[in-house]
Structure 1
Amino acid sequence: TSRRKAEKLIQEGKVTVNGKVVKELGVKVSGTERIEVEGIQLTKEEHRYFLFYKPRGTVSAVTDDKGRTTVADYFADIPERLYPVGRLDYDTSGLLLMTNDGDFANLLMHPKNEVSKTYIARIKGIPEREVIRQLERGVVIDGRKTAPAKVKMRSSDKTKDKAIVEITIHEGRN
């Protein structure tokens, strides 16, 4: 279940550790205890990792209130609850890691770990050198300056006024 639902189950007294009801959040266990939820013993789930090429027109989420296809829909036959590590926009395609390993996912996604992510984008227009330098120094978004990006022009087509750029960042913002 989700962390929020798990917290609710604990607060409602539906969780026991070694036969004792636990209602306090944040109780530490070593992994050798017998943990039950509503009388059903939990077993440790084997971690699963999948590299998934997300197609355009797919949401990087487990569910979608608009009924759109999600990345989780592609893993309907996998018994474990998988979720995407990071996100790509609906109209963007690219490689995502899908896993049930929350600790590993957090390690990759938490900003303090500064894990680099590389994007290749086809853009309208050809960015001038000064625009690239601004990205490399960091730009202000919603009043906060971004961390410096690594930017590389991969190709440009002046007749079509398009370019392909490679951008490597280690922070994520909407």
Structure 2
Amino acid sequence: MTIRNLTGPGIGRPRVQKIPGFYGERLIDGVVLKDITLYADERGFLLEVIRMNDNEMKASNIRQIIASYSYPGVIKGWHLHTKQEDRLVCVKGMVKLVLYDYRHNSPTYRQVNEIFMGERYPRAVFIPPGVFHGVKNIGQEIAVVIGMPSLLYDPDNVDEVRVHPLDNDIIPYNWECRME
């Protein structure tokens, strides 16, 4: 069978995961992506979320640990911190974490990363200040994301910039599932 001249809408080169569960040209500068080992036996399983001596994840800077629950299909984002570092781990369900580098002096300025993580792919992600991030629950049940920020939440001085997840002129990203 000969295939010729395949052009037109919807035809193109497929995206390739050079890093499993990750789409992007390269990892955004300063972001750390770490697979987490899941220990399982007949009693259940254990996930070591983070060790406080993990220098790569700057774990010693953690000031608070929060749990964010989201319903299937819900998008929580976009938000950016100017001073705060974030560390995220999805411990229930599956999510798509999307990052957008908004740091004008960064070598990966305007780079987009998609990271898939959760029960089926346990991993931790370190997000430096200046990188927009958002999470979409891509599973069929409630997803739980553990957040470990470097600053205590202060309602009188919130270190956060928010942008609408679907309607904005800053981040060139479509949250829909890409059918390929």
Range class of TM-score, shorter chain: under 0.3
Q: Which has the higher strand share?
A: 2
User: Larger relative contact order (C-alpha < 8 A, sep ≥ 6)?
Assistant: 2
Q: Which has the higher helix share?
A: 1
Q: TM-score, structure 2 length as denominator?
A: 0.22
Larger radius of gyration: 1
